[in-house]
Amino acid sequence: MEPVMSWTLLLLVVSAGLAWLLWQRQQQAKMMALFILRRHCQQLQLQLLDDTLYMCGWRLLAGRWLDPGRWNLERRYCFEFSSGHGTERYRGEMVLHGRRLVSLDLEPHQL
């Protein structure tokens, strides 16, 4: 095996490992967000439609208050819900900084 090919193979394996690690972290964050959202909907007697949420944005942020000098990933998730008796669909959005919930906004809805 030539040295150039071994470096290429090593780079490919490391890249695949990093991609898997990032995907795994994303899945963990999504499961945590879904857990928080289900609990919130249950407390407000709302129904999370399709029992899903999807990532509608992300950005890299420099830490400010809790972790100065440390970078965090802001994940923005969108979802749909309905009130207990209606067939109306409403939109919601939640924001996580790392693993910390920053905001959970619900569109105005009927109770």
pLDDT at position 3 is: 67
Q: Closest by alpha carbon to 93, among 59, 51, 35, 53?
A: 53
Residue 12 lies in a domain: yes
Show the domain range for 50.
3-106
pLDDT at position 62 is: 76
Query: Which DSSP helix (H) or strand (E) runs through 9?
Result: helix 3-43
pLDDT at position 34 is: 93
3-state DSSP call for residue 88? coil
Residue 88 lies in a domain: yes
pLDDT at position 60 is: 86
Q: What is the mean pLDDT of each run of 10 residues along the chain (111 residues)?
A: 75 93 90 93 90 90 68 91 82 90 90 72
pLDDT at position 63 is: 67
Residue 45 lies in a domain: yes
- What is the count of structural domains for the chain? 1
Residue 57 lies in a domain: yes
Residue 111 lies in a domain: no
Which pairs count as long-range contacts for 60-68, CB under 8 Å and 24+ apart, including other chains? 61/97, 66/100
Residue 50 lies in a domain: yes
* 3-state percent breakdown (helix, strand, coil) of the chain, nearest 5: 40, 35, 25
pLDDT at position 2 is: 63
Residue 32 lies in a domain: yes
Residue 83 lies in a domain: yes
**C-alpha–C-alpha distance, residues 43 and 52, integer Å:** 17
pLDDT at position 70 is: 75
